[in-house]
Structure formats: C-alpha cells, structure tokens
Amino acid sequence: MITDALLLQLGYNATLVTLGAALLGMAAGVGGTFLFLRKRALVSDAISHATLPGVALAFMVMVALGGDGRNLVGLLSGAALSAAAGLLVVSWLSTRTRLAEDAAIGSVLSVFFGFGIVLLTVIQTMSAGRQAGLEGFLLGSTAGMLRADALVIAFSAAATLALVLILRRPLTLASFDPDFATSTGQNVTRTDLAMMGLVLAVTVVGLKIVGLILIVALLIIPPVTARFWTDRTDRVVLISGLVGGVSAYVGASMSAALPDMPTGPIIVLVGFALFVVSLLLAPGRGVVSAVLRHRAYQRQVHLRQGLLALAHGQPIYERMTLRLLRRQGWALPDGVATPDGRGRATRALRDETRWQVIRSDPGFEAAAALYDGLTPIETVLTPDQIVEVDSRIMARSEVSA
C-alpha cells in the first residue's frame, strides 16, 4: 500500500496531494533557508500560530453568509489575513516598544493561538461547526481532501516556490551580509518584508497538509539538515529544497496510504530522519566524520611522539604508540626501531629541530603560528628558507662541539 502511494498509484486526488505537498516542501525548504540564515526562525512560529484565529473567523463569516464554511480558499484567505496581522504586531512591538523580538513573538504567538482556540470552542457549539473538520489545520490532514482543494494547494505551492526562486539573490545577500546589501543600495527592510511574506505564504498554503503547529518544522529542519553538507549558500538552498520536497512527498504518500495517521507529524518525522542521517553521516560536519578525524589525529600524534622517542633512544611505554609503529613497520615488538623506522625517526627529529629554530626567531613569526607538531615543514617554508634554517642548526652544532 505504501509502495503504491510512493509510486503515485492511489488515484488522481492522492497524486495531486502528494505532488502539491512536495512542491510545498520545496518552497518551505528554500524559503526557510533565508529565515535560518537571517536568524529569525522564531518568526515562523509566530506566523503559524497567528493563522488559527483567521481560520476560525473565516469559517464563522462564511457560515453567517450562508456559504460553505469549509471552503479552502476562504479558510486560507482568513489565515493569511490573520497571520499578516500577527506579523505586523510583532514588527510594531519589536520596533516601537522596548520589547525584544523574542518577547514580542512569544506574546503574539500565545495571544493569537489562545484566541483561536477560544473561537474553535465556540464553533463546536454551532450546528455547522460539529463537522467543520477545522482540527485538521492543527496537525494537518489530507484524508478526504477534495480535488479542488488539492489543486488549490498544488498551484499555490508552485507559485510560492517560483517567487522564492525569483527573489533568491536579494534574499541571499540580505541574509548573509545585510550591511553589504545596504551599501549596494538594496533596501534590506523591504527584503525582510518580502522574506516574511514568502514565509507567510508557505505557512498558509501548508496549513491543510502540515498543520499550523508543525509547519515551522518544515521551514527549519531542511535548512538545518542542508547545513551539515555544505558551507556555500547556494548549495544550502538547493539541498534544503530537496530535503523539504522529499520529506513532504514521502510523508504525504505515507499519510495517503494510512488515512488514520495525521499528515503533518509524518512529514516532520521523515524530515527528522533525514536530519539524523545528515547529523551522523555528513562528510564535513557529521558525527562519524568528526570521530574519524579525531582518531586519525590521535594516530598522527602517537606516531610522531613514537618516532621522536626512537630518535632519542627512549623506551616506548604507550602500548597504542608501539602498536601503531609496529603496524607501520617502524618498530619491532620490543620497541627497537627497524631500519625504515630509524630513517623516519631521524627525519622527525630533524623537522622538530627546525621547528624549534623557527619558533625562536621573530622573523618566522607567521610560520611559527602554524606549528602543531604534525604539519610538514615543507608546506610552510620555501626551500631557500629551509636551507637557511639548516645552516643555523649546523652553526649551533659546531659551536656546541
């Protein structure tokens, strides 16, 4: 059943929902990247929670006008207006009062969400509200979604993704270096508003699929996951969009195959699984990579210290050091150096002596700063400089003699 869902074999409506969710995930991943780089992730939480009273009020207005309170376009429109109001209140509180932005966000988030819960309670007492299904906007639900609803979500997600891609350059510049963006004549305030508008659009479009409580995860988890794989902003945007798209596609497919399961939590769990894989296996920043680099560094230190001990004729008491030297063929089981080991020990002692000269000479201050006991000296000094250092060592040896 799940395989059929992943291969889009569950019917036209399910296919539309899955593709729409994938587009939404891509838009959320790309848009969330700029929010993440701008260090304004909590703003998305305030926007998402501020949508609830708009959804409830829109339902009540449509029912009062004699219409169908479950019209998705009307509900999303109400959510957009409510979220925009919440965003404006956050902006006003953080710029016109002494409240910090995080305090303003917390205030708006709690007040708007609390007001929305009260409205939902009122709706449940209405004759038309008992079958409204508005609770699906909390955690997301695609079960029973109509074809028209699926089309609205798919086209809206595609339009939002297109807007994000069109505005990616000014958004990238403002997120990465706002001061430089201002110096080039870019209006960073307007760019921030555009970014907030895109986040608002992603939030509103994703209400039915992911839910207002978990939409923030779809905005933040993909860029955080992408950050493990690269340092370049353009690649973070690309990988984040891919992670968001895959998470939403797989999550919506599984939800279609398992109608009793809420869509939002499944999408978030898939995204979290990708995050864990990246946390563990990413080549540059992953835990496994870090552990391997640390172990390789430890081996280098043990080998270096072992060679210096062999060069000075000192016994090797550290079992790991001796084991590594034996594995390289540089020492015998009793700790005596092999011919190859004696040659390498001599070179290690020579390099260490060179480093001592460099570190004691202010003229080599820049090179001395690179000393870690492991860096080959040939990668730091030119051949002429090495000859000069060797001549100083010979002169000292002659004086000592």
pLDDT tens digits, one per residue of 141-154: 766 666 777 777 77
Both tokens assigned to 93: 């509180």
- CA of 246: how far to CAs of 11, 53, 222, 224, 366, in Å? 20, 30, 10, 15, 48
- Which of 97-106, 158-167, 270-279, 309-318 tops mean pLDDT? 270-279
Whether 322 and 310 have beta carbons less than 8 Å apart is answered as no
* 289 vs 302: CA distance, rounded Å: 20
At 132 the pLDDT is 56
- Which of 111-120, 201-210, 251-260 tops mean pLDDT? 111-120
- Fold (CATH) for 2-283: ABC transporter involved in vitamin B12 uptake, BtuC (1.10.3470)
At 101 the pLDDT is 80
At 146 the pLDDT is 67
What tens digit of pLDDT does each residue of 267-297 get?
Answer: 899 999 999 999 999 988 899 999 999 999 9
Rg (CA), the chain: 31
What tens digit of pLDDT does each residue of 62-95 get?
Answer: 888 877 777 778 888 898 999 899 888 888 888 8
At 47 the pLDDT is 85
Question: Mutual orientation of helices 147-166 and 12-37 as an angle, nearest 10°?
Answer: 30
**What are the extents of the domains in the chain?**
2-283, 288-400
Portion of the chain with pLDDT greater than 90, in percent = 18
| Arithmetic mean of pLDDT over the chain | 84
Which band of pLDDT confidence, cut at 50, 70 and 90, is reported for residue 166?
Answer: confident
Both tokens assigned to 155: 């086209």
DSSP reduced 3-state for 200: helix
More confident residue, 138 or 93: 93
Residue 178 clears pLDDT 90, i.e. is over it = no
Portion of the chain with pLDDT greater than 70, in percent = 93
Both tokens assigned to 150: 């699926």
At 222 the pLDDT is 94
Looking at residue 231, what DSSP letter applies?
S
